[in-house]
Amino acid sequence: MKTLLAAFAIAMAATTASAETVVVQFTGEVVIVGDFGVDVGSVFSVGDPIVGTFTYDNQTPSSTTTTNGAVFDAAITAMNVNIDGYFFSLGAGANSIATENDHIVLGDYTCFCAEDPSGLPVDGLPLSSVQLELIDGDNAVFVDDASAMSLTPTYNFSEFETGRLLIEIVNEDDIRERGQVSGTLTNFTIIPEPASFVLLAIGAGAALIHRS
């Protein structure tokens, strides 16, 4: 019994230590492939499936606040996306989470934004930026301005009406040459921390011991 309690205490400590980390899985498909001097159509096609995950720290303090939102710099700690066999991940560029309550056009809005993601070149050019946007035109996600200024508690992603993934490739030598890939995201799932599974296993084991 003491061994079981010790294991439980260790698992609880692990859960507490990682409580600020939120891992989100998403799926969707490409709906727009825009070639404006950069041949993104050689890599991406409308209908390509999108599968990915991103991780963020919901204890990140805001770096900038507005009257109805905030920006949280470097809050994204990981991002991995597969678009029908093309993979990219979070790169060395700046990243942030931006939130806004009652945006004049979009409603309640959150953007997980990253510059210079890491992936293979497209038409000889590196990826410039990626934006993972959550939009709710009914303004039902954030109850007030203050709730849009905090990453805690964890967002209820299912409350947003629309999810969108936007990738841009820009020729820095001639910014008129650019390509854009836009995808609709249809499903978001928060993935439990590994410690949660440990606790479930311990609970099941404790139940079996009790029954025996």
The structural domains of the chain, with segments of one domain joined by +, span 1-19+193-212, 21-192
In three state form, how does the secondary structure of 55-81 look?
EEECCCCCCEECCCEEEEECCEEEEEE
The tens place of each residue's pLDDT in the chain, 212 residues long, gives 444 333 333 333 333 334 488 999 999 999 999 999 999 999 999 999 999 999 999 999 999 988 889 999 999 999 999 999 999 999 999 999 999 988 888 888 999 999 999 999 999 999 999 999 999 888 878 888 888 888 865 667 778 888 999 999 999 888 889 999 999 998 888 887 654 444 445 444 544 444 45
Residues contacting residue 160 through CB under 8 Å, at least 6 positions apart: 108, 110, 134, 135, 136, 141, 188
Q: 37: which 2 tokens?
A: 């001097």
Global confidence as pTM:
0.79
Q: What is the pLDDT of residue 160?
A: 85
pLDDT tens-place string over residues 150-167: 886 566 777 888 899 999
Rg (CA), the chain: 20
